[in-house]
Amino acid sequence: MMFLVALALAAPPPFEPGKDGKKCAKDPEGAQTAAAELAELVELSRSTPVMSTAPEHRDRMARVQAARKGYMCSRQAMLDAALVLLTSTSAKDLDAAAAYAQEAALDALPLAHFAYTNAHDRALVARGLPQDFGTQFGLIGSDPRGCMHPVATDAITDADRAAWSVAPLTELYAAYLKERGHAGQPPNEATLRRLNLMCLSGKF
């Protein structure tokens, strides 16, 4: 069962560094350096995306892992780490990304909802399980949205999706079908399977 963050808080609870922020009080200079490193990595991920098998990606993962070792000192730092970890295909990394983004959502930080829903779904797909929100697509040839990964029908509701800024599942299906040139087809999983648009494996 998922635990959803209450998004309508009058004021977010104060941030308290957890086990990944154990160096925050002892080394504020190191925390600033780590925050700058994470911000740089986010910008790199946006401006120069690379395949997860590329040496540059492995270097970025090593850098974000170093920053995580005690320097998660703010919700912004957590969100930045989540956005970088989101490019990983490791379920463990993606679990961390989801947890960080969920914390960042308490401050209503831009992209926190995007990071949480995508990391949550990617972690499930990485384990060979159906996704919950419906954010993940698989690569077919050179097409990064060649197929849509299956979505669990009993894990969450459209109300849960709305709370995390995700459209209802039928709208997600309809938009994807339209993108693939099948506008007007019934927006459901059966249609995607009939048209061979549903991923058959857990590969991104």
- DSSP secondary structure letters along the chain: ---------SSPPPP---GGGTTTTT-HHHHHHHHHHHHHHHHHHHHS---TTSHHHHHHHHHHHHHHTT---SHHHHHHHHHHHTT---HHHHHHHHHHHHHHGGGT-TTHHHHHHHHHHHHHHHTT--BSSS--EEEETTEEEEEE--B-SSS--HHHHHHTT---HHHHHHHHHHHTT-TTS--SHHHHHHTT-B-SSS--
Residue 181: per-residue pLDDT: 94
Residue 155: per-residue pLDDT: 84
In terms of domains, do 48 and 99 share one? yes
C-beta of residue 104 within 8 angstroms of C-beta of residue 78: yes
> What number is the average pLDDT over the span 112-121?
98
> What number is the average pLDDT over the span 72-77?
96
Residue 92: per-residue pLDDT: 95
> What number is the average pLDDT over the span 30-55?
92
Angle, helix 91-104 to helix 112-126, in steps of 10 degrees: 160
Q: Is residue 1 part of a domain?
A: no
Out of 47-51, 77-81, 173-177, least confident range: 47-51
Out of 3-7, 98-102, 114-118, 185-189, least confident range: 3-7
**Amino acid in position 64:** V
pLDDT class for 10, splitting at 50, 70, 90?
low
Q: Is residue 37 part of a domain?
A: yes
C-beta of residue 149 within 8 angstroms of C-beta of residue 164: no
Residue 9: per-residue pLDDT: 45
Q: Is residue 6 over pLDDT 60?
A: no
Residue 145: per-residue pLDDT: 78
6, 37, 40, 107 from 13: Cα distances, Å:
11, 26, 27, 9
Q: Is residue 201 part of a domain?
A: no
Residue 202: per-residue pLDDT: 65
In terms of domains, do 121 and 169 share one? no
pLDDT class for 7, splitting at 50, 70, 90?
very low
Residue 203: per-residue pLDDT: 65
> What number is the average pLDDT over the span 185-200?
95
Q: Is residue 28 part of a domain?
A: yes
97, 126, 155 - which closes a domain: 126
| Domain range for 48 | 20-126
In terms of domains, do 41 and 104 share one? yes
In terms of domains, do 101 and 155 share one? no
The residue among 9 and 186 whose pLDDT is bigger is: 186
The residue among 58 and 140 whose pLDDT is bigger is: 58
In terms of domains, do 65 and 146 share one? no
Residue 42: per-residue pLDDT: 95
> What number is the average pLDDT over the span 143-169?
92
Closest CA to 102 of 93, 113, 94: 113
Number of structural domains found in the chain: 2
> What number is the average pLDDT over the span 126-140?
93
Mean pLDDT computed over every residue of the chain? 91
Q: Is residue 203 part of a domain?
A: no
Q: Is residue 141 part of a domain?
A: yes
